[in-house]
Chains A and B, each alone.
Chain A
Amino acid sequence: MFDKFFKLSRDLFCVANDEGYFIEVNPAFTKVLGYSKEELLSKPFAEFVHPDDFQKTLNETQNLIEGQGTLEFENRYIHKDGTYRILSWSCSAPQKGEYMYAVARDVTAIRAAESKLSKIKDSLGRHAIIAVTDEKGIITDVNEKFVEISGYSKEELIGKTHRVVNSGAHTKEFFKNMWEKISSGESWSGVIQNRHKMGHFYFVYSILSPVHNTQGSIEGYISIRIDMTDYINLKFAYEKTYNVLNETSAIAKVGGWEMDVSNGELTWTDETFRILEVEKNNSSRPMLPEGLELFVEECKPIIEKAVSDCAERGIPYSLELEAKSAKGRVFWVYTNGKANYKDGKIVTISGTIQDIDSRKKAELALEKERMKSLHSLKLASLGEMSAGIAHEINNPLTVIAGTINLLDRYKDKPEKFKEKLCAMTKSCERIEKIVNSLKKFSRSSDNTEKKVCNLFQIINDSLSLMEIKAKTFEIDFKVDVNEQVSIFCDELEIEQVVVNLLSNAIDSVAEVEKREIQIISTEDQEFAVVRIIDSGLGIPEDEVNRIFEPFYTTKAIGLGTGLGLSISKGIIEDHDGELSYSKEGGKTCFQIKLPIHK
């Protein structure tokens, strides 16, 4: 009958002799340790014991032999696969000359679970704020972390409820709901603001759970809390900063954006959404293609290339483009972007977007007005020059016509014939030269384009145009200009400035006895400096400050538009240069300073 229990038991049953060998083991031994019965009986049982438990096992066995009654202890036995099993032994002391009878239970899994639980408990105790209360909420135990964060000693806390740390920040309703939930057997979690003994506040994320007794009724509660104070304060600070940033961005109409290079996902600030009139969707973020769609057709390739160059090669950009909002409004924006790196790789690109519609439109209108003024000035110059130009063309034309008339007379005089043909050729060249200069000068500058130009060439062309006017007053230009200097400019605009200054210089010297105009160029570090110096009457001292104002003129009514110097100054400044006036040895000097192109 007992044989059946012996075989069916999950516990390990064995009989051993005083020489340390198993005499009999039940099948549970084979099942738990993996050896056959024969293997288990073939060697002393001590050889199956973990070396560290060997001495303990020997001592326990010795005690048993010496008649110490029933013993209970644990040791580790090696499994056939090399791992160890923890066995909990219960042995009875043998009578003299009798065998030992012992029962063991495999407690490996239980001990592992206990160890794990112990570690969790230990870790939780060290990092979490723990409090235990009875069923009425009266604190029965707290850990060190609770003492630390609340400022109260353990003794001050035990016997009290959590009201001791109540900050007054939460409503009665809040605590009522919390109690209703935990007293119904469920857990409650949420952020609670508490008050430290010294009066300052701290924030804890709390999980409150009921503890049930064996009858299933609630015998108390356990609360586990995590200190959130730094996080909450940081969050407040962040929200405050974010709000200030949003408000200032809205005032400045500057939005921010960032793009994740790996997937094209865009993060926009509130102002960016506002500028582009896109409805904010909290569940999804805009993607790059949607962002690119918010530009007018002509600008799409430009922004697309800029973003791609920035994301792939790290090239920053800043552009003024026409955007088209989600509601279809077309307006000017300034947008820039730069690459952000992590471990040497571009991970995001970020930048700003600004609504510059009003400013840009004003600029464009101003530019249009400037072009109009420039055109008017050009027409005025052309008008002034036209009489002289007609004279200059008609003279050689008369030579040609007259020579043709007389060619018949020279047919028998080859030398004279050749001489007259030569005179005709020269006359043709004179006409060609003046027509070319005029053609170039009167070219429209609506579509201005800056390019690298030779400064000497520009001055030379301007001198050709003013030659006729200068000749009228028997003025010789004294030119000393470096032929090698290049500038990056719109040559027509610079030529217009030089023509204006030369024309003014001629007008200025026309009335004086000593008529001299010098055109001198020098270099001043990164700049080319051109000085136009005349021996004219100059500008009255009290009017010097007004000479660059529009419509200011010293010329008689009808002789000057008064726009020349103001427009000239605008043109030079547009080329990152300076136009200034000074007196040089009693002479009038206008100085143009322009960056040298290298």
Chain B
Amino acid sequence: MLKIFYLDDEELLLDLFLDYFESENTDLHTFLSPEDAIQAARQSPPDIFFFFFRMPFMNGDDVAFAVDEDIPKYLVTGDINIKHKYKFDGVINKPYKYEDISKIIELHQKKRS
């Protein structure tokens, strides 16, 4: 079972994420606070980490550099032309399709098996 973290400032999106992927044989964890997500990732690193970029006093780069380098990280953003330093595994633009996220999850499931 894949452990997936999703960090976003939009609570409704976190709810939808849970609703959509609950049946996908995954261990889902959602976070509204970047600090909470970083702490959880350090304690028990996820298999995939989705997070957004524009957050209070921190951005996507800060979160990416704060956790284990080996964790696959995907930037989920509604911004236009975000300039980031961290080399993410992928960038998902809002509004996204769940099929795109599903494909990423499937990819990592395959890698793992």
* A residues apposed to B, CB below 8 Å: 386-388, 390-395, 397-403, 405-406, 409, 423, 427, 471-474
Contacts and interface: CB of A to CB of B under 8 A. Distances in A.
B95 A387 contact: no
B98 A387 contact: no
A514 to B, nearest CB: 13
Contacts of A399: 10, 12-13, 16
A406 B20 CA distance: 7
Interface string B15-42: 0110110000000000000000000000
10 contacts: A388-B79, A390-B78, A391-B77, A394-B78, A394-B93, A395-B10, A401-B95, A405-B97, A409-B19, A474-B57
Contacts of A388: 54, 79
A405 B95 CA distance: 12
A473 B9 CA distance: 13
Contacts of A472: 54, 56
> Chain B: interface secondary structure?
loop
A392 B78 contact: yes
Contacts of A401: 95-97
> Chain A: interface secondary structure?
helix
B16 A403 contact: yes
Contacts of A427: 12
A244 to B, nearest CB: 70
B56 A398 contact: no
A474 B57 CA distance: 8
B53 to A, nearest CB: 8
A423 B77 CA distance: 20
A394 B94 CA distance: 5
Contacts of A397: 78, 94-95
A391 B97 contact: no
Contacts of A402: 13, 16-17, 20, 95, 98
Please give me the 7 A-B residue pairs with the lowest Cβ-Cβ distance, nearest first: A394-B78, A394-B94, A398-B95, A391-B78, A402-B16, A397-B95, A398-B94
A311 B110 CA distance: 94
A408 to B, nearest CB: 11
A390 B20 CA distance: 24
Contacts of A392: 78
Contacts of B12: 399, 423, 427
Interface residues on B, range: 20 to 34
Contacts of A393: 78
B111 to A, nearest CB: 25
A394 B54 contact: no
A392 B77 CA distance: 10
Given A390-B78, A394-B78, A399-B13, 18 more contacts: A391-B54, A391-B79, A393-B78, A394-B93, A394-B95, A397-B78, A397-B94, A398-B10, A398-B78, A398-B95, A399-B12, A399-B16, A400-B95, A405-B20, A405-B98, A406-B16, A406-B20, A472-B56
Nearest to A390: B80
A289 B30 CA distance: 83
A387 to B, nearest CB: 5
Contacts of A406: 16, 19-20
B36 to A, nearest CB: 16
Given A398-B13, A402-B16, A390 B56 contact: no
A283 B56 CA distance: 85
A395 B94 contact: yes
Contacts of A395: 9-10, 13, 78, 94
A406 B19 CA distance: 8
A471 B55 CA distance: 9
B33 to A, nearest CB: 12
Contacts of B13: 395, 398-399, 402
Nearest to B16: A402
A473 B56 CA distance: 5
A509 to B, nearest CB: 12
A401 B20 CA distance: 12
A290 to B, nearest CB: 64
A584 B67 CA distance: 43
Contacts of A423: 12
Interface in B35-78: 54, 56-57, 77-78
A565 to B, nearest CB: 27
Nearest to B53: A391
A15 B35 CA distance: 156
Nearest to A409: B19
A387 B54 CA distance: 10
Contacts of B10: 395, 398-399
A233 B78 CA distance: 90
Contacts of A398: 10, 13, 78, 94-96
Contacts of A400: 95
A427 B9 CA distance: 14
A588 B9 CA distance: 31
Nearest to A405: B98
B80 A386 contact: yes
Contacts of B77: 391
A388 B56 CA distance: 13
A388 B77 CA distance: 11
A181 to B, nearest CB: 103
Nearest to A386: B80
A471 B54 CA distance: 10
